[in-house]
Amino acid sequence: MGIVNVTPDSFSDGGKFNTTDKAVAHAMQLVAQGADILDIGGESTRPGATPVPLDEELKRVIPVIKALIEVGIPLSVDTYKPEVMRAAIDVGVDMVNDVCALQEPHTLEIVAGSKVGVCLMHMQGRPQTMQADPQYQDVVAEVTSFLAARLKAAEQAGVACERIVLDPGFGFGKRTAHNLTLLNHLSSLQSLGLPLLIGLSRKSVLGQVLGSEVGDLALDERVHASIAASVVSVMKGANIVRVHDVKPTVDALKIVSAVMQN
Ligand code: 9MG
């Protein structure tokens, strides 16, 4: 899954092209590099990020989705807002990637009333404050039981389990040790019987592991660590990896696949 962030700060070219055109061009590059799904988002969910007003998020993501529909690649919309889900579904998106796991009002019904797939992700707290003081007794058990409960809620609302993927939400209200424990014990989440989506690409947990002196590395300096994280995730049972750096990830995963088939 290639990440397409439709935010003005994602593309700085001195204003030569508008954000929609730049996002579409970037998405096309990710497809050429081997992405199987594109995840299009208009609001950052990074720790401390400021929420984007609804009309601005719609203005960012809907034109990009419309432009990419013709490409024929599966498209996911990264949003927790019911209005954005509705608009994206209406223009033909294939999947909703919801970091709030369909807990916002009306989102369960919107997805249930459509045919789209959905990613249900675990988060402790909300992006503005989630990294302030994350606490767990048993991170694997708590994330597993949260996802089991959201899976049940989605199924009860009418979302068939064939449409659902689950995600432990790396970096969403988790300290470094929580993230590493979850990754090491990914097989516990496999017990829920659904595909797993993993997002570790360029996240600060990778900078932390690389060492405090490089913990503040620029995001594109976390590329090698991101590829390693994708390889480990897939070897531990992930079915979809959400990444910025598609080409090197695809190459690395071809090696994983070749080894595991033999
Ligand atoms: C939007 N977004 C940012 N990080 C993510 C992750 O780890 N998983 C999913 N599903 N979405 C994410």
pLDDT of residue 217: 61
pLDDT digits over 26-39, tens only?
A: 999 999 999 999 99
Measured from the CB, is residue 242 less than 6 Å from ligand 1?
yes
Q: Is 16 a catalytic residue?
A: no
Is 164 exposed, middle or buried, given 0-12, 13-18 or 19+ CB atoms closer than 10 A? buried
Is 208 exposed, middle or buried, given 0-12, 13-18 or 19+ CB atoms closer than 10 A? middle
Domains and CATH numbers, the chain: 2-261 (3.20.20.20)
pLDDT of residue 11: 64
Taking a C-beta distance cutoff of 8 angstroms, is the pair 144, 192 a contact?
Answer: yes
One-letter identity of residue 133: D
- The CA dihedral of 98, 58, 202, 34, to the nearest 10 degrees, is 90
Q: What is the whole-number distance in angstroms between the Cα of residue 262 and the centre of ligand 1?
A: 31
pLDDT of residue 253: 98
Q: What is the whole-number distance in angstroms between the Cα of residue 225 and the centre of ligand 1?
A: 17
pLDDT of residue 48: 86
Task: Pick left, alpha or beta for residue 237 (phi over 0 → left; psi -120 to 50 → alpha; otherwise beta).
Answer: left
Q: Is 60 a catalytic residue?
A: no
One-letter identity of residue 134: P
In order of 112, 153, 162, the CA distances from 157 in angstroms are: 6, 6, 14
pLDDT of residue 18: 79
> Atom of ligand 1 at shortest distance to CA of 170?
7
pLDDT of residue 126: 86
Catalytic: which of 150, 163, 202, 242?
242
Measured from the CB, is residue 43 less than 6 Å from ligand 1?
no
Q: Which of the residues in the chain have pLDDT under 70?
A: 11-17, 212-219
Measured from the CB, is residue 147 less than 6 Å from ligand 1?
no
C-alpha 29/C-alpha 2 separation (Å) is 10
User: Which of 84, 242, 243, 244 best tests ligand 1's pocket when mutated (most atoms within 8 Å of CB)?
Assistant: 242
Catalytic: which of 203, 222, 247, 254?
203
* CA atoms within a 13 Å half-sphere pointing along the CA-CB vector of 35: 26
pLDDT of residue 211: 84
DSSP code, position 230: H
Q: What is the pTM of this model?
A: 0.95
pLDDT of residue 136: 97
pLDDT of residue 256: 97
pLDDT of residue 9: 74
- The CA dihedral of 190, 192, 198, 199, to the nearest 10 degrees, is -150
Where do we find the tokens 């990754």? 183
> Atom of ligand 1 at shortest distance to CA of 200?
7
> Atom of ligand 1 at shortest distance to CA of 169?
7
C-alpha 53/C-alpha 61 separation (Å) is 13
Measured from the CB, is residue 127 less than 6 Å from ligand 1?
no
Nearest partner of 124 among 185, 182, 84, judged by Cα = 182
